[in-house]
Amino acid sequence: MKALSIEMKKCKRSGVFPIMFAVGIFGALYVIANFAVRKDTLLALPLAPMDVLLTQLYGVIALISLFGIITATCLMYQIEHSDNAMKRMYMLPIRITDIFSSKLLILVMLLLISFTIQYSALGFVGNLYLPENSFELWTLIRYGLYTFVMSLPVLLFMIFISSRISNIWITLGVGIIGFFSGMATATSDIVVFLINPFTLIMYPAMSNNATVKFSALIIAVVEIVVFLVVGYIFTKKARYE
């Protein structure tokens, strides 16, 4: 808890909190504006109303979230790398792995908050515009949790890269290359591409039904565990040279 509260203090004026809140708010505004303007076109699609609500809007939500994740993870460690702040941490009686896990926890919580804002907007729109009795709250929550878990591998990958590379432009470059690789491979049927965490986050947007794809979910969970273990080991072994 001590490490978590210290990391929260460090985030002040870093831009991490405003970015992740902006992700939630922009996503929510997009959902509301899009459905308000295109509701007739969207509901005319040959899909179940809940599938329309969730799958037709998730693509842009995923993009906004991905931009937020890339930027926030870069900034999260930029405060440590610039002005050698991390060096000071290495000279204090604190476990460096606690810094990594606390930063990760903060970002996961912020992503969860932004997802909650976005899915609240989806719930609002669903209640307002979907045909009577077709809105299913449980389907919305299940899909929200599914897409949240699918977003975590990219967050873990980016925080790991950000922790290892002190030059923010390289970290940002990795994020942008990842973003394009995800865009290029998300529509493919080749399962191997799902190893790429940037493809995983886009994957739910490529389907026309809001069911949970367990094979993709398993890949996401495995990647979460792998990135967690790798991040922890590298952080534990690292020294400030």
Partner 1 sequence: MNTMIQTKNLTKRYKDFIAVDDLSLHVQEGSIYGFLGPNGAGKSTTMKMLLGLTKPSTGSFVINGKMFPEERVAILKEIGSLIEAPAFYGNLTGRENLDIIRHILELPQSAVDEALEIVGLSEFGNRLAKKYSLGMKQRLGLASALIGKPPILILDEPTNGLDPAGMHEMRNLVKSLPQMYNCTVLISSHLLSEIELIADDIGILNHGVMLYEGSLHDLRQTAIQKGYEANNLEDMFLSMIEQDNAARKKRAVI
239 touches partner 1 by CB under 8 A: yes
The first and second tokens of residue 221, run together, are 């969970």
Which stretch, 87-95, 104-112, 176-184, 210-218, contacts partner 1 (CB under 8 A)? 87-95
Which stretch, 19-27, 91-99, 180-188, 196-204, contacts partner 1 (CB under 8 A)? 91-99
C-beta of residue 96 within 8 angstroms of C-beta of residue 235: yes
How far lies 37's CA from each of 3, 33, 193, 195, in Å? 46, 6, 35, 36
Among 40, 46, 83, 192, binds partner 1 (CB under 8 A): 83
188-193 contacts at long range (C-beta below 8 A, 24 or more positions apart)? 191/215
C-beta of residue 186 within 8 angstroms of C-beta of residue 199: yes
DSSP state of 130: S
Among 57, 70, 74, 86, binds partner 1 (CB under 8 A): 86
Which stretch, 79-87, 116-124, 152-160, 208-216, contacts partner 1 (CB under 8 A)? 79-87
Nearer to partner 1 by Cβ, of 41 and 82: the residue is 82
Dihedral Cα 121, 127, 128, 133, nearest 10 deg: 160
Minimum distance, C-beta of residue 52 to partner 1, in the bound complex (Å): 43
The first and second tokens of residue 128, run together, are 């307002």
- Name the residues that contact partner 1, by CB under 8 A: 2, 5-6, 9-10, 12-14, 79, 82-88, 90-95, 239-241
